[in-house]
Amino acid sequence: MKHLLDTASLSREDAIGILDIAEEMTLVSEREVKKLPVLRGRTVVNLFFEDSTRTRLSFEAAAKRLSADVLNFSAKGSSVSKGESLQDTIQTISAMGADAIVVRHSGAGTAHRLAHTGWIDVPVVNAGDGTHEHPTQALLDAFTLRRALAGVPASGPVTGGPRGQGLDGAKVAIVGDILHSRVARSNVHLLARLGADVHLIAPPTLLPWGVEDWPVTVHYDFDSALSAEDFAAVMMLRVQHERMHESFFPNEREYARLWGLSAARLAKLPESTFIMHPGPMNRGFEISAAAADSPRALVLDQVENGVSVRMAVLYRLLTGQEETND
């Protein structure tokens, strides 16, 4: 495994391997000194051409907990604003001694381009490319759900736990703006590869072309889907207004009424159903405060687990090992 560019090409074996390494990485947070020396002397570059809080900080924390040096690049205020090309930017950063590059870019396929053009010869991690994919988000979602279904706490020492397991038979609903969501695309591929039964719930205008060929069941009515299916988890998505250049629904109030996870819909869900959201959340729009703050909500667990999963990804790519020896 040279790069992590998407989940579409990630095998079940590799996915479970990363999740199992992440289980070991959670133990680091229990230490007095929250670090492992495994990447000492290595340099990880966070190359972000789009704004980000959770993903950038999570990758930075992950690299530092593995004792790597971190260089953070932001397109704002850089030579990119002066017209420097992507190739020159990448090769300049590579010349500074980068051992791995984490890239987020508005252009779909940018991570693939960096990995395969020959501009650099280091592992590339896709931290989100346009509306294409966001593989580490899907991995942390799967990690969080796997733990929750196994009754394992968000973090801390685990004996046995869900190691080696997929998500076979788990019924997962992804609700909202599927069309513009790279998180949804990555989750569809990964959850299906891990054996989950994936359902998409959205208005027709927010579903991508060709969705009928995806390994999913599509619903157009939220209430009907909740009545007909017994979901292990419901993952709400943010409506991405910044990627919309036309009207996809009448107004925000109408969207919240038909597609939001309101307190009333939350009350209809089985007590065993978990609530997920990749963030950032728009409370009162796609998700109510009651749902976001519910004891069944895994939102903060997703954030916490993101560090462990990204530690596992960097460890796997930079050492080539499938388990730690620490």
Catalytic status, residue 82 = yes
pLDDT in tens, 215-230: 999 999 999 999 999 9
126-139 average pLDDT score: 96
**What is d(CA 174, CA 186) in angstroms, rounded to the nearest whole number?**
11
pLDDT at 33: 83
| pLDDT for res 323 | 63
- Averaged confidence pLDDT in the chain: 90
Residue 55 assigned ligand-binding role: yes
Give the C-alpha separation, 314 to 44, whole Å: 9
Is residue 72 within 8 Å of residue 96, measured between CB atoms? no
Active site residue 134: yes
Catalytic (active site) residue 319: no
137 carries a ligand binding annotation: yes
pLDDT for the residue 144: 97
Task: Choose the catalytic residue: 53, 76, 82, 245.
Answer: 82
Q: Which of 256, 265, 266, 324 is nearest to 297 (CA)?
A: 266
Question: 42-74: per-residue pLDDT in tens?
Answer: 999 999 998 888 899 999 999 999 999 999 987
Categorize the per-residue pLDDT at 77 as very low, low, confident or very high, splitting at 50, 70 and 90.
low
pLDDT in tens, 286-324: 999 999 999 999 999 999 999 999 999 999 999 987 666
Domain residue extents for the chain: 12-133+303-319, 135-298
Other Cβ atoms less than 10 A from the Cβ of 321: the count is: 12
List 42, 104, 277, 310, catalytic entry:
104
Q: Is 82 annotated as a binding-site member? A: yes
> DSSP of 215-251, one letter per residue?
SSEEES-HHHHHHH---SEEEE----GGG-SS-SSS-
* 7, 43, 55, 144: the active-site residue: 55
Please check the confidence at residue 231 and state whether its pLDDT lies above 80. yes
First to last CA, the chain: 21
| Tens digits of residue pLDDT in 278-294 | 988 889 889 999 999 99
Same topology for domains 12-133+303-319 and 135-298, yes or no?
Answer: yes
Whether 156 has a binding-site annotation, put simply, is no
pLDDT for res 284: 87
Q: CA-CA distance, 178 to 131, in Å (whole number)? A: 10
**Separation between Cα atoms, residue 63 and residue 114, nearest integer Å:** 20
Alpha helices by DSSP H, listed for 117-181, are 135-149
Active site residue 296: no
Say whether 54 counts as a known binding-site residue. Answer: yes
Tell me which of 54, 64, 112, 283 is the catalytic residue: 54
Q: Which residues does 27 contact at the CB level (< 8 Å), separation at least 6?
A: 157
Check residue 212 and give its pLDDT: 92
Annotation marks residue 185 as catalytic: no
Does residue 280 have a known ligand-binding role?
yes
Looking at domain 135-298, does it have CATH number 3.40.640.10? no
Rounded distance, CA 307 to CA 63, Å?
A: 9
Q: Which amino acid is at 202?
A: A
Tens digits of residue pLDDT in 162-214: 999 999 999 999 999 999 899 999 999 999 999 999 999 999 999 999 999 99
What pLDDT is stored for residue 34 in this prediction? 85
Over residues 83-112, the pLDDT tens digits come to 788 899 899 888 889 999 999 999 999 999
Q: Is 116 annotated as a binding residue?
A: no
Q: Would you say residue 23 has pLDDT above 80?
A: yes
Provide CB contacts within 8 A for 241, sequence distance 6+: none
Q: State the pLDDT confidence band at 241, using cuts at 50, 70 and 90.
A: low
CATH H-level superfamily of 12-133+303-319: Aspartate/ornithine carbamoyltransferase (3.40.50.1370)
Catalytic residue among 3, 65, 134, 199: 134
Lowest mean pLDDT among 63-77, 233-247, 252-266, 285-299: 233-247
Tell me, yes or no, if the pTM score tops 0.85: yes
182 annotated binding-site participant: yes
| Encoded tokens for 30 | 């229990």
Confidence of residue 11 (pLDDT cuts 50, 70, 90): very high
